[in-house]
Every structure is written in C-alpha cells, then in structure tokens.
Structure 1
Amino acid sequence: MFKEKPGHWNGFELIDLQALLHQSTVKLDHDPHKPHRLSFFAIIIIQAGEVTHELDFQKYQLKAGDCLLVSRGQIHAFDESAHYQGHMAVFTEAFLLHYIAPATLQKISRLYNYHLNLSQCHCPQENTQFLENIQDAKASPTSFAGSDILAAYLTIYLLKLEQIKHLNVTTRSFDRKYEIFDAFKQKVEQDYPNSRNAKDYAQRLAVSYKYLNEACKAFTNKTAKNFIDDFVVLEAKRYLSSSALSIKEISFQCGFDEPTNFQKYFKKYTGNTPAQFRQIYA
C-alpha cells in the first residue's frame, strides 16, 4: 500500500481513506479488503461515521474521533461493507529512526507494542490537530525542512496518545519489568522458529525464569510460555491468511520440522486445522 513516490515526503504519507478504497486493486497491487501484512507503521483516523476494522483477526469498532494504531508486521483488512471517512498516516521505520530522537522513540514505542492491547484510542481533538498540521505542511509553498516538520508533528501526536493511554509510569520496577518484557518480545519475534522454550529466552536475557514470567504477566496477563505459543499461532494465522505459501512451507517458517506436528499444534490452540483456518479467509 505504501509507496515512495515523487512529490511525497520520503517515508511518510497521509492518505485519504475514501480515495484509497476507491482505487483499483491493480493500482494498489493488493485488495485492501483482504487480510494483508504491513511493512510499515500506520494510524487509521476515523473522522465521521462508524466502521468495523479487522486487525490481527480481532474486530475493532471505530467511530468518529477514534484512531487505530497498526504496527509493522501486523495483518489488517478494511471492511468492504463499511464507508470509511478519514485518513491513514503511514510511515516507515527508517523515517522514525532518522527524524525522531532515540529518547523520544523510547517514550512512544509502547504505543506500537501491540501485545499491550493499546491499539485503539479515542482522541478527537488530537486527531483533528494532527491532520490540520500535516495538511498545512503539505500546503506549504516551500519544501524546506519538510520531513523534519512532519516528524515533529508526528512526534507531538504520538506523545499525546501516550499521555491519553496513561503509559508514562515512571516507577523503577515498571521500567525494569517493561525493559525485560520488551527485550523478550523482540527476541521471540526474531527467534521463535528456532525456540519455543521460555527458559531459553530467560537464559539469553540473563534473568530467572520466574522473573521473566512476572514481567510477562505484568503486561499481558500471560506466562512467558503462553506468550510464545500465542505469538507462534498469530504468525501462523498471518501466513495462512495473507501469503500463498503452502501449509508445509508455513510449518517450516514457524519452526516445525514436521508439518503434522504444526497441524496438531495449530489445532490445539485454535480449534481449526491450518487448512480450515485458511479457508475462512480465502
């Protein structure tokens, strides 16, 4: 969906949802109403009406004044029967790393940690101000420092969302546990095909298995083992719904040497075989 094009700032774009959804699938290279995986970050801002939006196989009821944060790697789909009125801001990781200071990125990173269930936010004033700022910047007769200005507006907007979500907790125990949880989350996302053993991750993080469980439960109400299993199943669902890979290939991608073991594992946690789940999203 996101393409860097002449006339657009490198790594950031604001898209009108009505215009987007009325484009042909040929022009978009995909069907936005089918589950598709993002390689960038997005914020869907609803300005009028109500829609049901699917994100990682969960339904979100969005109304005017709501926004939905979609992280890189997540699967989402627009509701074909809904009338979307609003905008979607999309931006790459490279844009964030280049234009936003590391200390600020650390403050807003939890917004895009979808394991914390913070994707949806009702913030009409913040949405309006953000869109006005971006549109004013786009209308500027000069392109001088354009990306810097966009990044500044995006930073302010995300920091305000952070405040609304009451994430600015500063106790040392919170910070330490979140640091461990975030490191665990990143390692699982990178290494789950090689290990589904929570004790392996605790060892790599140089913490006890008990402490890793405490950190994980503090933010997800799941044990470390439950977190790993849930993520593996989520990744399998993402592959099944949005790729043309065979079930055998997906089983290998998810770290299973034998497709039969993958099928048993998947059915244990979802109640469906991989083929049955894929058929739902066919």
Structure 2
Amino acid sequence: MAKDIPHIEFDSKKPDNSGIEILTIENLAERKDETGHNPEKAHQVTFNMIVFYTAGESKHLVDFVWHPVKKNTLIHISKGQINAFQFTPELKGYIILFTEAYLKKQISTLPKNEIDRLFNAQLFSPIIQVPVDSNVETYIRLFDEEYSNSQENYNQDNTYSALHTIIFSKLERLKQYQTFHLKRSDKLNTFLSFKTLLEVHFSKSRNADFYAEKLNITYKHLNTICKETVAITAKQFIDQFLILEAKRLLINSELKSTELAYSLGFEEPTNFVKYFKKHTGFTPNQFKKTIQLDF
C-alpha cells in the first residue's frame, strides 16, 4: 500500500552512538523536507521518545488521539506507538530519543515505579504538564549542550547515562502526583503481569478466563484488579488492547483485512470485521481510508 504509515528507525548521525540522542523541535521542523519523511504525518517509532515543549502552542498525535501542547508540556512516546507533530512558527522544544536496548541497559539504575509510570501507555496519559518552577528543562538543556559538544568525547556515555537517570527520576516524581492512586502493590504487579501475558498471547485468546488461569487467580479477582487499576473490566482492557493493535497493523501492513483477522486470532474474517466495527464504528477498510485522508 502506497500510503502505509512509515516505521521510523533510530538513526543517529553521531559516530559510536550508544542508543540515545537529543535534537530540537525547531531543527526537526526545518529538516522535515530533507529526510524523506514528514514528521507531521503519522508514523510509528521503533524507539522511545520524550518531547518537551518550551514555547508555542500546538497539538501532538499519540496513538490516533491529538493532544494539545504548550510551554512546559512533556509527552512520552513508547516504542511502537503512532505519533505525529504539528509544527507552528513559535513552537520550540527538545526531543530525546533512545532505543529499547539503551533503556534495558538503564533499567538497573531506574526505580521500578519509574518504569511502570513512564512506559505503560495503557496505564497513563502520555502527557505531563511540568510545573513552571520545575528544573526539568535545566537538565534537558544541559543534556543538549553535552550531546552537542563534539569537542569532548571522554566519558560521554556516562554523562548521558547520569543525565538520563536524573531526568527520568524527576519525571517520575511529577508523574506520581498525577497517578497517586497507583502505588506499588500486589494488585498492580498482577495487572502488569496480565498486560505482559496479553502482549504475548493476544492472538491466541481474547478470553479473560484464559489470562486469569495463567495468573493462578479467579476471573472475578482479575476483574477487580482491572477495575481498581484502569477503571475497566479485564475484557474491556483486552478489547481496547486488541483494537489498538489492529489499528496499528491495519495502517502499517500490506496484509489484507482477511489475513490480518487470522493473525489476530479470529477464525473467520467476518468475525473480525464485526468485532472491529463494534468497537470503532468503522469496518477495517473504512478505518484505513479515513486515516489515510486525515494524515
């Protein structure tokens, strides 16, 4: 399909890059016509991103939802999410990009809560409105200065790692105030285990009982955990997860709807069409055409 939403790979121009990079929003806007890809068109990233807006007002697309952004808005985008900018003349800020391999290397230095809050798209909004008196911007600017300093290469990886840890720790502190109801607990641990199982087995089963059995708990208990964690039932969470996965595959794959239905675990393509329309109001083909027109 000619209009597939592109996958954007991590591609640093800096030699011996360890998997992390920073650039400005202004620079990305200026070079959008030179890269062969327009960041204002929806695209899927194969890495993680933090976008911090320091001036201007606009909106940012994350997984088919446009979010308003302004000064001190921070957006976190996880690997695999759909994303698009909307540039305006006044818009300024920074974009930190880092690979999954870099994140895994950093995990040992990051608190567990931090990983949960910043890397679970189903649990939290991708937006943080950073308080004016926060010094998050100070450390992001320092990171940009360090990264841009081509004269000093000695021990740079350790410097990047330290700044990355500081920035993430500060973001976790801000995020926890927005998600105070989600403290580290056995219930949250079970929910995260459920989510991990779903990521592996969603094409095998859409039945909540299947996941409850694998977790060695009852369906009722899994339902209670989901309601307390994300305010929906286990089945609703499964449906939301599968629909988002279907949307991503529909716009990023040359698979026909019938082939996609089988890959998602539907025995009959017509069942997938009915399921998709029930949850979105569109058939898969209608959704595909609508997205192509919009983006």
Structure-2 change in CA distance of 1:176 and 1:246 (3 Å): same
Give the 3-state SS of the residue equivalent to 2:75 in structure 1. Answer: strand
Q: 1:181 aligns with which of 186, 191, 197?
A: 191
Does residue 113 of structure 2 align to residue 107 of structure 1?
A: yes
Structure-2 change in CA distance of 1:182 and 1:167 (3 Å): farther
TM-score of the two chains, using structure 1 as the length reference: 0.90
Structure-2 change in CA distance of 1:135 and 1:240 (3 Å): same
In structure 2, C-alpha distance between the alignment counterparts of 1:82 and 1:210, rounded to whole Å = 53
Amino acid at match of 1:186: T
Superposition pairs for residues 79-118 of structure 1, below 5 Å? 79=86, 84-101=91-108, 104-110=110-116, 111-118=118-125
Match of 1:122 in 2: 129
Structure-2 change in CA distance of 1:217 and 1:15 (3 Å): same
Does residue 260 of structure 2 align to residue 250 of structure 1?
A: yes
Does the 8 Å contact 1:48/1:64 carry over to 2?
A: yes
For structure 1, which segment, 11-20 or 131-140, has the greater mean C-alpha deviation from structure 2 after superposition? 131-140
In structure 2, C-alpha distance between the alignment counterparts of 1:210 and 1:159, rounded to whole Å = 35
Q: 2:239 aligns with which of 202, 213, 229?
A: 229
Match of 1:133 in 2: 142
For structure 1, which segment, 182-191 or 119-128, has the greater mean C-alpha deviation from structure 2 after superposition? 119-128
For structure 1, which segment, 107-116 or 48-57, has the greater mean C-alpha deviation from structure 2 after superposition? 107-116
Match of 2:4 in 1: none
Structure-2 change in CA distance of 1:96 and 1:148 (3 Å): farther
For structure 1, which segment, 267-276 or 129-138, has the greater mean C-alpha deviation from structure 2 after superposition? 129-138
Amino acid at match of 1:279: K
Aligned-pair CA distance for 1:32: 2.1
Aligned-pair CA distance for 1:278: 0.8
Aligned-pair CA distance for 1:211: 1.8
Structure-2 change in CA distance of 1:162 and 1:253 (3 Å): same
Give the 3-state SS of the residue equivalent to 2:185 in structure 1. Answer: helix
Does residue 53 of structure 2 align to residue 46 of structure 1?
A: yes
Q: 2:280 aligns with which of 265, 270, 273?
A: 270
Aligned-pair CA distance for 1:105: 4.8
Aligned-pair CA distance for 1:188: 0.8
Match of 2:24 in 1: 16
Give the 3-state SS of the residue equivalent to 1:157 in structure 2. Answer: helix
Amino acid at match of 1:21: A
C-alpha RMSD over aligned residues: 2.5
In structure 1, C-alpha distance between the alignment counterparts of 2:94 and 2:163, rounded to whole Å = 15
Aligned-pair CA distance for 1:71: 0.8
In structure 1, C-alpha distance between the alignment counterparts of 2:280 and 2:265, rounded to whole Å = 18
Does the 8 Å contact 1:9/1:146 carry over to 2?
A: no
Give the 3-state SS of the residue equivalent to 1:76 in structure 2. Answer: strand
Q: Which has more helix, going by share of residues?
A: 1
Q: How many residues align?
A: 280
Q: 1:153 aligns with which of 157, 163, 174?
A: 163
For structure 1, which segment, 139-148 or 259-268, has the greater mean C-alpha deviation from structure 2 after superposition? 139-148
Give the 3-state SS of the residue equivalent to 1:114 in structure 2. Answer: coil
Deviations, residues 44-102 of structure 1 (Å, cap 9, x unaligned): 11110011111111121110111000011111122266864212111012112223416
Does the 8 Å contact 2:47/2:78 carry over to 1?
A: yes
Aligned-pair CA distance for 1:257: 2.6
Match of 2:39 in 1: 32
Structure-2 change in CA distance of 1:268 and 1:81 (3 Å): farther
For structure 1, which segment, 256-265 or 121-130, has the greater mean C-alpha deviation from structure 2 after superposition? 121-130
Does the 8 Å contact 1:45/1:86 carry over to 2?
A: yes
Aligned-pair CA distance for 1:252: 2.4
Aligned-pair CA distance for 1:253: 2.7
Match of 2:79 in 1: 72
Match of 1:55 in 2: 62
Does the 8 Å contact 2:50/2:74 carry over to 1?
A: yes
In structure 2, C-alpha distance between the alignment counterparts of 1:100 and 1:230, rounded to whole Å = 28
In structure 1, C-alpha distance between the alignment counterparts of 2:38 and 2:249, rounded to whole Å = 16
In structure 1, C-alpha distance between the alignment counterparts of 2:194 and 2:250, rounded to whole Å = 25
